[in-house]
């Protein structure tokens, strides 16, 4: 597992966009045998409400609005964007990739490098590292990373196991080449656990047919078709407990840092029980661990930028309180894959959260 250390990567902007529609988990009484069971579920996962996209809104629309706002606020000449990355598992089409569509909608140059990345809940950390790597190539000065998911479109809304978890969101992150801006990253993979989170049909391994849409009860009691997300909660939980705290410690050690040097630790917002465990295991003060999942749910790969944009906006934008704004980002999920990044947000601007 290579440790990546780059000295010239500045994140100069992060914006996020969520759907206007709210779904309160307290309203899911029809999925549970009693109010007590529902209340217990909400307390364990820590998700009170989620944002759900309209039928005509995709992840790319949420990302477009976040990016358009960010570029306008920063008065960025759009011809200076050298690379556009779109990180999502819920792109517009199987073919073509969504990044070229967004290049056209955003009015970027036809010389912009554009491609999609798909890597579940660890995706933002992986894509951020990819963006940083591109910035170390000659001639590349600005990279725009768009990360968004509309998981509400790929879960069965009557499934009490998964429906209360997932929400929709989009984000935009602008990275620029700038001296004396250290960036640390470590990315890891355990493909032996690929089946823990999957959509069985719809790819070339299992081509979708008329049977793929049949709703059935799975072995773990969850409901859904072969075109809906399946997650083995026990396997995912055991995997994250094993690798995430260790991954955080590894990166800090190799970077010559400790948690005392980190202002905030932003975990992928899977559920509150899991994140609380990580913080306790790492002996990280709760004040250093921001949450957004109570109001937005698990938005998969976009939870990290959404949490930064919604919870840390004032702190990031206030340049007079403290010049050093180091944060640690930890993503983990399907693949199975996980990754950790340490970066500094002292050069970053965050606009107000958008709703569409």
**CATH assignment at residue 41:** 3.40.47.10
State residue 131's pLDDT score.
98
Distance CA 258, CA 314 (A): 24
Task: Give dist(CA 190, CA 335) in Å, integer.
Answer: 7
347 is catalytic: no
| 154 three-state secondary structure | coil
Active site residue 348: no
17, 228, 298, 348: the active-site residue: 298
CA distance 122 to 215: 28
CB 85 within 8 A of CB 117: yes
pTM, whole model, 2 decimals? 0.96
The answer to whether 156 touches 226, Cβ cutoff 8 Å, is no
Tokens of 71: 């570029």
Beta bridge partners of 337: 189, 333
Q: Return per-residue pLDDT of the chain as tens, 356 residues.
A: 589 999 999 999 999 999 999 999 999 999 998 999 999 999 999 999 999 999 999 999 999 999 999 999 999 999 999 999 999 999 999 999 999 999 999 999 999 999 999 998 999 999 999 999 999 999 999 999 999 999 999 999 999 999 999 999 999 999 999 999 999 999 999 999 999 999 999 999 999 999 999 999 988 888 999 999 999 888 998 999 999 999 999 999 999 999 999 999 999 999 999 999 999 999 999 999 999 999 999 999 999 999 999 999 999 999 877 678 999 999 999 999 999 999 999 999 999 999 99
The whole-angstrom separation of Cα 340 and Cα 356 is 31
Active-site entry in 121, 188, 284, 348: 121
Q: Which of 25, 63, 268, 348 is catalytic?
A: 268
Whether 162 sits among the annotated catalytic residues: the reply is: no
Strands (E), the chain: 3-6, 9-18, 22-24, 49-51, 83-87, 113-117, 142-150, 168-177, 183-189, 197-198, 216-217, 223-224, 230-231, 264-267, 326-333, 337-344, 354-355
Element counts in the chain: helices (H) and strands (E): 9, 17
How many domains is the chain partitioned into structurally? Answer: 1
Strand (E) or helix (H) holding 71? helix 59-73
Query: Residue by residue, what is the 3-state secondary structure of 312-323?
Result: CHHHHHCCCCCC
Angle at Cα 15 formed by Cα 9 and Cα 20, nearest 5°?
Answer: 160
Residue 34 sits in which domain range? 1-356
Give the integer Cα–Cα distance in Å for 255 and 273: 28
What are the angstrom distances between the C-alpha of 223 and each of 23, 156, 220?
Answer: 19, 7, 9
DSSP state of 227: T
């Amino acid at each position: 597992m290579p440790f990546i250390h780059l000295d010239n990567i500045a994140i100069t902007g992060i914006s996020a966009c969520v759907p206007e529609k709210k779904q309160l988990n307290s309203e899911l009484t029809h999925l549970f045998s009693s109010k007590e069971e529902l209340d217990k579920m909400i307390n364990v996962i820590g998700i009170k409400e989620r944002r759900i996209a309209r039928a005509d809104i995709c992840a790319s629309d949420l990302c477009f609005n976040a990016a358009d706002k960010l570029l306008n606020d920063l008065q960025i000449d759009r011809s200076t964007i050298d690379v556009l990355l779109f990180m999502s598992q819920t792109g517009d089409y199987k073919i073509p990739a969504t990044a070229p569509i967004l290049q056209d909608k955003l009015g970027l140059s036809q010389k912009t490098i554009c491609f999609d990345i798909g890597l579940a809940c660890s995706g933002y950390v992986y894509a951020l590292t990819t963006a940083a790597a591109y910035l170390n190539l000659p001639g590349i000065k600005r990279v725009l990373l768009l990360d968004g998911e509309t998981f509400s479109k790929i879960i069965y809304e009557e499934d009490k196991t998964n429906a209360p978890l997932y929400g929709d969101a989009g984000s935009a992150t602008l990275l620029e080449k700038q001296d004396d801006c250290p960036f640390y990253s470590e990315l890891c993979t355990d493909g032996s656990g690929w089946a823990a989170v999957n959509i069985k049909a719809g790819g070339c391994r299992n081509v979708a047919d008329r049977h793929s849409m049949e709703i059935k009860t799975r072995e773990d009691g969850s409901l859904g078709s072969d075109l809906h997300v399946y997650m083995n909660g026990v396997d995912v939980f055991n995997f994250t407990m094993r690798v995430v705290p260790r991954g955080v410690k590894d990166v800090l050690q190799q970077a010559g840092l400790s948690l005392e040097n980190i202002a905030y630790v932003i975990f992928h917002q899977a559920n509150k029980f899991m994140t609380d465990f990580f913080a306790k295991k790492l002996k990280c003060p709760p004040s250093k661990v921001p949450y957004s999942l109570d109001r937005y749910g698990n938005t998969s790969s976009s939870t990290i930028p959404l949490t930064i944009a919604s919870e840390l906006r004032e702190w990031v934008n206030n340049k007079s309180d403290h010049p050093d704004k180091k944060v640690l980002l930890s993503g983990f999920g399907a693949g199975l894959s996980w990754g950790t990044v340490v970066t500094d947000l002292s050069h970053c601007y965050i606009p107000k959260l958008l709703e569409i």
